[in-house]
Amino acid sequence: MERRQVLKAGGIVATAGLTGLAGCSSSNPDASGETDTPSNGDTTTVQMVTEGSDYYFDPIGLFVESGDTVTFENDSGSHSATAYVEGNGQASVTRVPDGAEAFDSGILSEQNATFEHTFETTGTYDYYCTPHKSLGMVGRIVVEESGGPAEGSMPPDGDVPESQTIVDQGAVSYSDFSG
């Protein structure tokens, strides 16, 4: 799969199935119909980073296929991965596809702590870090193809790569996007 090679070349961890997931389960239940456990899809990691006065997800833009699991890993600081679904955490708007439910990791404070979410519904998902939303810590995941309420606009709290750029590149690192 050419897209997976792009992910590996970009320094993003991408493994098939359950490989490397021992001990990575989250104690934070997902209220949605989607699962936070590995499926038959691939697993990809998004780092949650504090670096000086910068707070960001890396990659900031990520393409996955339906059924893939994304692991959000706390690199440093205290962060969350929270979907923009009205009423979910601090979200006042919904920016996930119709039929997709909210996900929220809760705040992860320990280094290397993880939260996993399996994306089943096709479309564009915008998400944020609860403690750093006002500082622009937002990210975007495109599942299969762009679409939904996030398409064609930016999240209210920061900028993310355009969905088509994410689809074309497979992943957009924070440094490439912000630099």
User: Is 21 contained in some domain?
Assistant: no
CB atoms within 10 A of CB 153: 10
Q: Give the pLDDT of residue 41.
A: 57
pLDDT in tens, 13-31: 433 333 333 333 333 333 3
* Residue 57, domain member (yes or no): yes
- Answer whether residue 161 is part of any domain: yes
pLDDT of residue 170: 96
Does a structural domain hold residue 179?
A: no
Q: Is residue 71 part of a domain?
A: yes
Give me the pLDDT at residue 31, please: 38
For 33, counting Cβ atoms within 10 Å of its Cβ (0-12 exposed, 13-18 middle, 19+ buried), the class is: exposed
Identify the three-state secondary structure at position 147: coil
Residue 132 lies in a domain: yes
Provide the whole-model pTM: 0.78
Tell me: the pLDDT tens digits for 24-72? 333 333 333 333 433 445 779 999 999 999 999 999 999 999 999 999 9
CA 2, CA 94: separation in Å to the nearest integer? Answer: 32
Q: Which residues are annotated as a binding site?
A: 129, 132, 137
For residue 178, being part of any structural domain is answered with no
Is residue 51 one of the residues assigned to a domain? yes
- Name the percent of the chain lying above pLDDT 70: 77
Residue ranges at the known binding site for Cu cation: 129, 132, 137
For the record, the structure tokens of 82 come out as 């929270």
Nearest to 97 by CA among 147, 159, 160: 147
pLDDT band for position 11 (cuts 50, 70, 90):
very low
Domain of residue 116, CATH code: 2.60.40.420
Domain total of the chain: 1
Distance CA 12, CA 10 (A): 6
Domain of residue 127 covers 2-16+26-173
